């Protein structure tokens, strides 16, 4: 479920009316929670204090995913697979924390993560009017996009200078609203506990997106300030009793992206063009890393996290594609659009909204024409290696930082500078052999897609085969050294040019075309955003602001009941147990990926096998919600979102609660495993009391 969307072309979407929300539907803004629905359907009254506490107990992992504070001393709970990027970077051939797990017995044993940033939402401010007024009404698409970029950069810079908080303007309702989100940043994050990957991801890819499930998918980290554990004002209390079937539960997390408000034209583009292309790419990369991993244990260790990301994304897109190919789902979407457009015509007060659908269709066709080349050149599919990403960042930072803040590409704005520099100067391990492997494959893919005789392909390959070219580029580059990166970054454009680094020079060779492709895509996106804003304005006027926007990887509130379902005529119970874990392991004869670490057999007799392990509920989630806390009516933690079942993969396009379910690790399973399997009693005491014991 982790959000990993490097090669997915952004498609700014437009709005369909959400006239009738289904029972537990919604990824709700904290500034507009579903108070009426919760009170009418569940007898629960949302108070401001309850909402504020949950909001500031929730954590965003900038690497993709969610988490929560679970003690006043900055202890953070999330999924193992959300923390895997950080755990992988801390591992070595001698100390493989992914394979063997990790436990800090003392405070001084907690290991600082290489480049992990955590964000905690502090406030939301509506800046829609200011953004809208800054865009000239009759400006060209390019001029309008620049004006919007400029005012957003101004708002973010003013806020950051005034508050010291990370400040990002978020586009909502596909252009119908703009909100300023302010986050507290934590950059000193340390690993406290992680189980073995085999316990966290029991069942591996075969069981991914399935239920029943038996995953101990959690890890614990701690945020520090001034070298000491941070004292956080809000944290979640661990529930003593957990949850049971029928209970109302809440999910507070950061869903990455949904496409529920896309027009029919846009959905058809996803179905016919974008999803097939994305799936083809993911499957190629999955096979590449599987083959490379099979050559040696060290190869497998280095590629493990990236391979999981490709497998997870591939399976998720397979499920989404099934939804797009479902005539019932697509028929409902088409009918909803037809009814709303009919309402617009009958009302007669919204001519801009009526015309907006045709404008979106025109822009979508133009995007479709540009997209294949954009994904390769500017989107990075042709240059899949970390060192090229560094080269591109250094090249553009030298050019962009010389411009006024409002005229820069957004990723180089002042408000994003701290995060950019943290990522750029990360001393994460970069392996030459893996870099060469990935770059060779992606250069080959480039030639296959555009044709060997394409001028850009010829320029990039330089008269050499993809393998020879990739090898000379990677081995010739000095950018894997952090000191070199800092020197070039601080020296600006002149220093970057003087370095003559081969990967920087490659980035320079394609930069003009890449920027041009980006400009064209953004211009069409601006046209769509203007059209979408007209539709959103009409929708608000006709239906009121009683709904929720598509997901944007910002904090949302969802809710649902703990509830099983029926599959193939058989009931699926909402809970699994430790007993079921051992039964599944025995049935599969302890063979990978259904094997268990040895300690789990040694400690089996100490476990209460009736303890709930994983459970499902009807909450509305999507990728990015991984690691989200699940809380009860009292705001106590009862679970940890780690996945959805296979039927939930259509939630990108439409909510369903018949079979779609969110999967969670039960809070009782986490305590039982920590105590009886891992002997981590001090961590258990901290979770139960909310305070770090003196260690």
Instruction: Tell me the mean pLDDT per 10 residues along the chain, length 695.
Output: 34 39 88 95 97 98 96 98 96 96 97 97 97 92 94 97 97 92 98 98 95 98 98 96 97 95 94 96 97 97 94 93 93 94 95 96 97 97 98 97 95 95 96 98 98 97 97 98 97 96 98 98 94 90 85 97 96 98 98 97 98 98 97 98 95 92 98 98 95 69
Which candidate, 358, 314, 284, 326, places its Cα nearest to that of 527? 358
Which candidate, 77, 89, 93, 64, places its Cα nearest to that of 6? 64
- Per-residue model confidence (pLDDT) at position 174: 84
pTM: 0.92
- Per-residue model confidence (pLDDT) at position 694: 64
103 strand-pairing partners:
193
- Per-residue model confidence (pLDDT) at position 22: 66
Q: What is the CA radius of gyration of the chain?
A: 25
- Per-residue model confidence (pLDDT) at position 546: 75
Cα(470)–Cα(500) distance, integer angstroms: 17
Residues 6 or more apart whose Cβ sits within 8 Å of residue 463: none
Which candidate, 69, 79, 63, places its Cα nearest to that of 642? 79
What tokens appear for 508 in the block? 């320079």
Alpha carbon 631 to its chain centroid, in Å, reads: 21
What tokens appear for 271 in the block? 């179905």
Cα(362)–Cα(368) distance, integer angstroms: 10
Return the beta strands (E) in 96-198 as ranges: 102-103, 111-112, 118-126, 166-172, 177-186, 188-194
- Per-residue model confidence (pLDDT) at position 8: 32
Work out the angle at residue 162's Cα, subtended by the Cα atoms of residues 158 and 168, and round it to the nearest 5 degrees. 50
Q: Are 119 and 60 contacting, i.e. CB atoms less than 8 angstroms apart?
A: yes
- Start-to-end CA distance of the chain, whole Å, equals 35
Q: Taking the CA of residue 432 as centre, how many other CA atoms within 13 Å lie in the half-sphere pointing to its CB?
A: 11
Work out the angle at residue 233's Cα, subtended by the Cα atoms of residues 231 and 234, and round it to the nearest 5 degrees. 115
């Amino acid at each position: 479920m982790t959000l990993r969307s490097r090669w997915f072309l952004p498609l700014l979407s437009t709005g369909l009316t959400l006239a009738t929300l289904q029972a537990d539907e919604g990824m709700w803004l904290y500034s507009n929670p579903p108070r009426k629905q919760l009170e009418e359907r569940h007898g629960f009254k949302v108070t401001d204090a309850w909402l504020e506490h949950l909001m500031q107990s929730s954590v965003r992992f900038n690497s993709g995913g969610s988490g929560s504070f679970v003690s006043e001393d900055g202890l953070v709970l999330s999924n193992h697979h959300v923390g895997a990027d950080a755990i992988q970077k801390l591992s070595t051939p001698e100390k493989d924390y992914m394979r063997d797990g990790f436990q800090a017995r003392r405070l001084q044993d907690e290991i600082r993560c290489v480049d992990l940033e955590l964000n905690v939402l502090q406030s939301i401010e509506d800046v829609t009017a200011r953004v809208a007024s800054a865009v000239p009404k009759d400006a060209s698409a390019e001029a309008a996009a620049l004006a919007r970029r400029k005012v957003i950069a101004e708002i973010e810079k003013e806020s950051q200078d005034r508050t010291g908080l990370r400040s990002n303007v978020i586009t909502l309702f596909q252009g119908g609203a703009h909100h300023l989100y302010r986050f507290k940043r934590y950059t000193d994050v340390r690993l406290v506990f992680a189980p073995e990957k085999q316990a966290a991801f029991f069942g591996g890819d075969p069981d991914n997106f399935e239920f029943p499930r038996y995953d101990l998918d959690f890890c614990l980290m701690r945020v520090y300030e001034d070298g000491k554990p941070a004292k956080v004002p809000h944290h979640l209390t661990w529930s003593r009793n957990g949850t049971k079937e029928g209970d109302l539960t809440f999910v507070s997390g950061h869903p990455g992206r949904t496409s529920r408000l896309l027009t029919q034209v846009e959905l058809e583009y996803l179905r016919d063009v974008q999803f097939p292309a994305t799936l083809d790419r993911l499957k190629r990369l999955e096979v590449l890393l599987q083959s490379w991993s099979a050559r040696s244990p060290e190869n497998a260790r280095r590629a493990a996290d990236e391979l999981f990301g490709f497998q997870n994304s591939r399976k998720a897109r397979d499920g989404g594609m099934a939804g797009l190919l479902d005539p019932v789902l697509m028929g409902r979407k088409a009918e909803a659009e037809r009814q709303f457009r009919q309402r617009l015509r009958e009302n007669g007060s919204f001519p801009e909204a009526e015309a907006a659908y045709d404008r979106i269709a025109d822009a979508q066709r133009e995007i479709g024409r540009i997209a294949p080349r954009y994904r390769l050149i500017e989107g990075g599919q042709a240059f899949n290696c970390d060192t090229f990403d560094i080269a591109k960042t250094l090249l553009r930072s030298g050019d962009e930082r010389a411009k006024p803040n409002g005229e820069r590409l957004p990723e180089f704005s002042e408000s994003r500078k701290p995060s950019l520099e943290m990522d750029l100067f990360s001393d994460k391990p970069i392996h030459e052999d893996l870099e060469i492997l990935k770059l060779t494959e992606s250069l080959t893919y480039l030639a296959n897609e555009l044709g060997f005789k394409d001028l850009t392909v010829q320029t990039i390959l330089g008269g050499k085969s993809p393998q020879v070219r990739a090898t000379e580029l990677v081995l010739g580059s000095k950018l894997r050294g952090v000191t070199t990166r800092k020197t070039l970054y601080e020296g600006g454009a002149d220093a970057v040019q003087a370095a003559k680094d081969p990967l920087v020079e490659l980035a320079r060779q394609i930069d003009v075309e890449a920027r041009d492709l980006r400009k064209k895509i953004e211009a069409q996106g601006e046209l769509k955003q203007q059209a979408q804003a007209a539709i959103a304005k009409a929708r608000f006027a006709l239906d009121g602001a009683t709904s929720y926007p598509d997901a944007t990887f910002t904090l949302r509130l969802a809710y649902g009941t703990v509830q099983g379902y029926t599959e193939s005529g058989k009931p699926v119970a909402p809970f699994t147990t430790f007993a079921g874990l051992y039964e599944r392991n025995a049935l599969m004869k302890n063979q990978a990926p259904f094997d268990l670490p040895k300690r789990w057999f040694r400690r089996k007799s100490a476990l209460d096998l009736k303890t709930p392990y994983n459970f499902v509920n009807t909450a509305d989630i999507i990728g990015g919600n991984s690691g989200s806390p699940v809380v009860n009516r009292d705001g106590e933690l009862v679970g940890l979102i780690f996945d959805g079942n296979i039927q939930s993969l259509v939630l990108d396009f439409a909510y369903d609660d018949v079979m779609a379910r969110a999967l969670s690790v039960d809070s009782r399973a986490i305590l039982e495993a920590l105590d009886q399997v891992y002997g981590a009693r001090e961590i258990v005491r901290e979770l139960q009391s909310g305070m770090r014991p003196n260690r």
